């Protein structure tokens, strides 16, 4: 197996899809959901309806990013934080719109100010990589990853640790962060540790340790951990 690209693992871990809706009692009844979203102007229902159109994981709805955006916007007007986050994703990933990282940042920042770790993580990644013409800013990236990490968000922890290791070459700080986070059995952190051991980055190369961490991540449902475990055997 070739070297595992650590930064690539972080990309995979951070850029997940739309924040799904909480499965409320009305979620699976399209008539009640629509009534709550329209007549009752219920922000949670509007957010849930947006997710229905975004994911199209329900036979009652066809995938329609424009319709998803409309309902997220309605929910966001009422301060629904997950809806703000999902609008950021729509503009960052160009779902039904031209990619627009300035708009994405605007929505992510609004959600992040409410301590929503997903948005803090996205902001960290945008500034770390300099996506969409946004200037790279490692200090801002660290700040946002730290905010997510302080809430126990494993993907933010992995992002912050990767900056310490790859950008700052501060191996002790990065490894301490990861080892502390391993206590929470987070699969993204386990996969990152496996990659470090496989590559011999920041730690001595150790295939058995790499295999152990990939196996743990796989057992915790992280597909990339499973793929790397198969590759390493």
Give the CATH number, domain containing residue 102.
1.25.40.10
Is residue 10 within 8 Å of 192, Cβ to Cβ?
yes
Residue 205: inside a domain: no
Environment class of 172 (CB within 10 Å of its CB; exposed 0-12, middle 13-18, buried 19+): exposed
Distance (Å, whole) CA 200 – CA 180: 20
Report which of residues 9 and 100 the model is more confident about.
100
Residue 192: inside a domain: no
Residue 200: inside a domain: no
Residue 4 reports pLDDT greater than 80: no
Residue 27: inside a domain: yes
Residue 164: inside a domain: yes
What is the model's pLDDT at position 174?
Answer: 96
Residues 195-209 pLDDT 10s = 999 999 999 999 999
Average pLDDT, the chain: 91
Residue 170: inside a domain: yes
Place of tokens 């790279």: 136
Distance (Å, whole) CA 129 – CA 131: 6
Average pLDDT rounded to a whole number, residues 72-77: 98
Q: Tell me how many domains the chain contains.
A: 1
Q: What are phi and psi of 25, to 5 degrees?
A: -60, -30
Model confidence at 46, in pLDDT bands (50, 70, 90)? very high
Lowest-confidence pick of 14-18, 111-115, 151-155, 169-173: 14-18
Residue 82 reports pLDDT greater than 80: yes
Domain that holds residue 45: 6-184
Distance (Å, whole) CA 154 – CA 148: 8
What is the model's pLDDT at position 3?
Answer: 72
What is the model's pLDDT at position 211?
Answer: 96
Residue percentage of the chain with pLDDT more than 90: 80
Is residue 145 within 8 Å of 158, Cβ to Cβ?
no
Residue 197: inside a domain: no
What is the model's pLDDT at position 8?
Answer: 75
What is the model's pLDDT at position 195?
Answer: 93
What is the model's pLDDT at position 17?
Answer: 57
What is the model's pLDDT at position 88?
Answer: 96
Residue 46: inside a domain: yes
């Amino acid at each position: 197996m070739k070297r595992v690209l650590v930064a690539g693992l972080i990309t995979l871990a951070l850029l997940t899809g739309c924040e799904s809706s909480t499965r409320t009692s009305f979620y699976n009844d399209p008539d009640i959901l629509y009534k709550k979203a329209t007549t009752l102007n219920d922000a949670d229902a509007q957010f849930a309806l947006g997710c229905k159109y975004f994911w199209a994981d329900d036979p009652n709805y066809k995938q329609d990013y424009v319709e998803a955006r409309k309902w997220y916007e309605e929910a966001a007007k009422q301060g629904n934080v997950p809806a703000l986050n999902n609008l950021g994703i729509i503009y960052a990933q160009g779902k039904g719109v031209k990619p627009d990282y300035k708009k994405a940042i605007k929505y992510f920042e609004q959600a992040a100010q409410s301590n929503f770790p997903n948005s803090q993580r996205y902001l960290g990644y945008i500034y770390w990589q300099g996506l969409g013409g946004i200037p790279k800013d490692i200090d801002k990236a660290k700040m946002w990853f730290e905010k997510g990490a302080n809430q126990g968000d494993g993907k933010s922890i992995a992002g912050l640790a990767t900056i310490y290791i790859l950008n700052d070459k501060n191996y002790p700080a990065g490894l301490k962060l990861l080892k502390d986070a391993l206590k929470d059995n987070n699969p993204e952190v386990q996969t990152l540790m496996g990659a470090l051991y496989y590559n011999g980055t920041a730690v001595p190369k150790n295939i058995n340790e790499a295999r152990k961490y990939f196996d743990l991540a796989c057992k915790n449902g992280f597909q990339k951990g499973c793929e790397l475990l198969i590759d390493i055997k």
